[in-house]
Amino acid sequence: MKCKHIKENGERCKANSMDNGYCYLHNPDIPEEEKRLARIKGGENNAVMIGDLIETTPVRTSEDIVVLIESVINRVKQGVLDIRVANTIGYLAGVSQKAVREVEVEDRLKRIENTLKE
């Protein structure tokens, strides 16, 4: 049996119902906080939850990257950032970290070369 909830567009919810005729997400007996957590963990149409947008900050130094990762970790722990978004940011932070290291090595090499020229 399908959920008896009628959406705003007039269509009936297509999810399977529980004993009371509602699906998990439309069940009035389940607290909203519990439903919100279920959505974060993979519920409603695989929608990506990003909560409040993460402020844009420069990612030019290793310290910047550490601050970004700390922010992402805390948002995931608070349940306001979808794990898929966090994984993407983590991957990009790793790529950025490699680029930052390369720039730092190039700068050091230039300084050494300039010192040797003098």
More confident residue, 112 or 54: 112
Q: Which residues pair with 2 in a beta bridge?
A: 16
pLDDT at residue 82 greater than cutoff 90: no
pLDDT digits (tens, 9 = 90+) for 39-72: 776 654 555 556 566 778 889 999 999 999 999 9
Q: What is the pLDDT of residue 52?
A: 63
Q: The whole model's pTM is what?
A: 0.54
Q: What is the pLDDT of residue 70?
A: 94
The ranges assigned to domains in the chain are: 1-46, 48-117
What secondary structure letter does DSSP report for 4?
Answer: -
Provide the mean pLDDT of the chain.
87
